[in-house]
Structure 1
Amino acid sequence: MTLLQADVLIVGAGPAGATAALNLAGRHRVLLVDRLAAPLARIGESLPPAAARLLRDMDLLDAFLRQGHAPYHGNRAWWNGAWTEHHFLSDPDGHGWHLARGTFDLSLRDEARRRGAALLAPASVDTITPEYDGWRVRLQTRHGPCDAAARIVIDATGRGARLARRIGARRQRGDRLISVWQYGRDLAPSQRGFAHIEACEDGWWYSAPLPGQRRVLALHTDADLLAKTGLRDAGWLEAAARRLPATRELLEQQGYAADTPAMATPAHTASLDAGAGPGWFAVGDAALSFDPLSSQGIFNALYTGLAAAEAADRTLRGEPQACQHYNGELAAIGAAYERHLAYCYGQETRWPSAPFWRRRVPARLSSR
């Protein structure tokens, strides 16, 4: 049986895994594994202005700017019965971006390969076993099983954190949030560049422009609150959105018309009890999964991918404490995220007894 030798084996070639790979390639032997031959369509994500500094530090910014992502100038939210707006006009990094996710994800994969990482896709992990000074991993590929030996493994498998949990890490889930979303045509230019958010009794709605006169529309709610017939009705999501005053006005202004079926994606907050240990690291959603209200998911993928690459490099150079430093970074990020999320949800007070809001701000009821 073939034995693949690597210094670092990265499982998951999404933004976090590919970012780790492209930062380690050239200095170490990197094997990047993904269960998909090419990225799938995903809900449109955004990058805040600060992402420009990360992309520049990784020598990715110029290529990124040529990819045609849509400018992201700020947020407009109908929250607690009033409009709130946040603009990036005064941000020293300029505007952010609404991403064409397929283009973005594929570009990171390609850059990792260009810098010297080996990509094996489609392939999946069958077993992982600790060995002296590393790991032995059995992979299932289209050509059959093969083994890989690596000194370090990086889990970039997303919210499931499948590799870290096999190693012994425990996943802690904070809620049951899901995102139900679809794409459509966006024919008018009036609201381009701004994300739209509207709170409702069972959650909140999101819509944003995408490249190529496209728009994403999404409902965020808890899985047990979603109408069981909703996803079986092709027009349910758009019809429900048009019953809300602010979102209906936006869709009418934009000439929006859905042209894909609605899809559901997990969107819950979650974390590992430890995001790294001897010989392994978790990155992106595998390490910390964010509620999309934070608008930090892809930024976190880039940041943790880079941070884990730096920690893995230090580990390979004989600094075993690097994983503790990385865990400290994750803890600080998680604490700041929890404070910010609690503040944002706490600003909406119209439905204090509704299950969705009661679960997120329980102290509001108990203090009365």
Structure 2
Amino acid sequence: MDTPDFEARPPRVSSHDVVVVGGGVAGLSAALTLVRAGLSACVLERTDYSPWRPGETLSPVAYAELQQLLAPEPLALETEGFLVSHGLEATWGSEQPHHHSFLTNPYGSGWHVERRHLDALLARHVQAHQVPMWRQSCVTHLERRERGWRVRARTPEGPLELRCSALVDATGRSAQVARHCGVRRLDWDELCSVSAILDRPPGHQERQLVVEATPLGWWYAAPLPQGRLILTLMSDVDVLERHGALKPAGWSALFSSTRQLSGRLGPLPAVARLQVRRCETSRLEHAAGADWAAVGDAAAMWDPLSSSGILKGLRTGREAARALVAALGGDGGALKDYDRRRAEEFTHYLFARQAHYAQERRWAGEDFWRRRLGTSVAA
């Protein structure tokens, strides 16, 4: 807790064209794009990049997008200890696993990454472009000015006041800036992930994402650097609660009932801690407004089944930055166009989500599957 002396200290004041609130993939993509376009930007990040973050697989197209963002600087993920991904295997719609190899992908292989380390890598690239970044910092006050915004933040070095012409909301599901502007979030489901980080079993050398559908939802397993593995159950919150899956014992019992994954990984070691995260399909009613734009999960959250989180973050960060550059240059329709494109993109995603879940009908009467098979895109 801050001491009274800390609160009483006068804030440092700094001015920038754009303040990016959130230092994940989407926010950092926006910051890099802004400074390369000639605008000044800074980043406020609430962590020091040490806490666990979801998102462990970098698809081939996302890797290509990342290379494009950082060019001409080389991107050597091997030096970060990340693992080449050879593809994915899914037991979905039948008892037989289906394989999808990256060997024939025009973008090459994918990667299994430690997400917090990937975000920290991007943050170092951003700072190399002389972009100020305050870590372990939180916004305490947002205020519209006659021209632009005033942002107050609590940082480890003391209170900070930032003045800017525009904001990027990269705060994830909380969408802090958009909520301040009165924008509603629209939800389509109550999906939740329950994950455990485990040591890889001896001899387990697979370099692919493995997905398995079950009556209560679906599981995935992916290798992580440093000999670890993430194992995740995806289902709706009420289903997870009903079956005790939010506690290690219930979660482990449900894993033992899987066919492909339990047979492949064998008995699990005792699980002491689970990572629980809401990851429902949702979007902001508007992804941009006067002098602000939302990116990544702040703008819209997609089902992890799409494996598009990192790619979406990179692309929306870039597109929002370009829209803000145009808007600050006098283009009155740039942010409206960005908002419209996000709404169209989300509609396309909903159709793809519906089609993918429709492939699995073995448990159409179970709550999790019934909700997705019977839900219209306009829900």
Q: Does the aligned pair in 2 maintain the 1:182–1:258 contact within 8 Å?
A: no
Partner of 2:51: 40
Report the Cα offset of residue 235 of structure 1.
4.3
Partner of 1:135: 149
Quote the Cα distance in structure 2 between the aligned partners of 1:156 and 1:218: 25
Partner of 2:370: 358
Mapping of residues 239-278 of structure 1, within 5 Å: 239-252=253-266, 257=269, 261-278=273-290
Quote the Cα distance in structure 1 between the aligned partners of 2:245 and 2:355: 31
Partner of 1:19: 29
Mapping of residues 181-260 of structure 1, within 5 Å: 181-188=195-202, 192-227=206-241, 230=244, 233-252=247-266, 257=269
> 1:355 corresponds to which letter in structure 2?
D
2:77 pairs with 1:62? no
Normalising by structure 2, we get a TM-score of: 0.89
Report the Cα offset of residue 150 of structure 1.
0.7
Quote the Cα distance in structure 1 between the aligned partners of 2:119 and 2:35: 17
Report the Cα offset of residue 220 of structure 1.
0.3
Quote the Cα distance in structure 1 between the aligned partners of 2:181 and 2:203: 49
String of CA shifts for 1:255-285, please: whole Å, max 9, x gaps: 8646661110111111011111121010000
Q: Does the aligned pair in 1 maintain the 2:19–2:42 contact within 8 Å?
A: yes
2:333 pairs with 1:321? yes
Quote the Cα distance in structure 1 between the aligned partners of 2:64 and 2:173: 26
Partner of 1:178: 192
> 1:224 corresponds to which letter in structure 2?
D
Q: Does the aligned pair in 1 maintain the 2:357–2:372 contact within 8 Å?
A: yes
Partner of 2:3: none
Quote the Cα distance in structure 2 between the aligned partners of 1:31 and 1:345: 40
Q: Does the aligned pair in 2 maintain the 1:181–1:263 contact within 8 Å?
A: yes
> 1:50 corresponds to which letter in structure 2?
V
Q: 1:145 aligns with which of 159, 171, 177?
A: 159
Quote the Cα distance in structure 2 between the aligned partners of 1:146 and 1:275: 27
Residue range with higher mean Cα deviation, 123-132 or 171-180: 123-132
Quote the Cα distance in structure 2 between the aligned partners of 1:36 and 1:359: 36
Q: Does the aligned pair in 2 maintain the 1:186–1:256 contact within 8 Å?
A: no
Quote the Cα distance in structure 1 between the aligned partners of 2:245 and 2:256: 16
> 1:214 corresponds to which letter in structure 2?
R
Quote the Cα distance in structure 2 between the aligned partners of 1:156 and 1:323: 16
Q: CA RMSD of the aligned region, Å?
A: 2.2
Q: Does the aligned pair in 2 maintain the 1:276–1:326 contact within 8 Å?
A: yes
> 2:82 corresponds to which letter in structure 1?
H
Normalising by structure 1, we get a TM-score of: 0.91
Secondary structure of residue in 2 paired with 1:136: strand
Quote the Cα distance in structure 2 between the aligned partners of 1:169 and 1:135: 17
User: How many residues align structurally?
Assistant: 362
Q: Percent identity?
A: 33
Quote the Cα distance in structure 1 between the aligned partners of 2:259 and 2:134: 48
Secondary structure of residue in 1 paired with 2:53: coil
> 2:350 corresponds to which letter in structure 1?
E
Quote the Cα distance in structure 1 between the aligned partners of 2:54 and 2:160: 33
Mapping of residues 52-91 of structure 1, within 5 Å: 52-60=63-71, 62-65=74-77, 66-82=79-95, 83-91=97-105
Report the Cα offset of residue 342 of structure 1.
0.5
Change (3 A) 1:319 1:326: same
Structure 2: runs of 5+ lacking an equivalent: 1-9
Mapping of residues 303-318 of structure 1, within 5 Å: 303-318=315-330
Quote the Cα distance in structure 2 between the aligned partners of 1:248 and 1:171: 37
Report the Cα offset of residue 363 of structure 1.
6.1
Q: Does the aligned pair in 2 maintain the 1:42–1:101 contact within 8 Å?
A: yes
Change (3 A) 1:287 1:243: same
Q: Does the aligned pair in 1 maintain the 2:252–2:268 contact within 8 Å?
A: no
Report the Cα offset of residue 241 of structure 1.
1.0
Secondary structure of residue in 2 paired with 1:264: strand
Partner of 1:288: 300
Secondary structure of residue in 2 paired with 1:226: helix
String of CA shifts for 1:230-263, please: whole Å, max 9, x gaps: 46744443332122111111212xx864666111
Report the Cα offset of residue 75 of structure 1.
1.7
Secondary structure of residue in 1 paired with 2:80: coil
Quote the Cα distance in structure 2 between the aligned partners of 1:283 and 1:341: 20
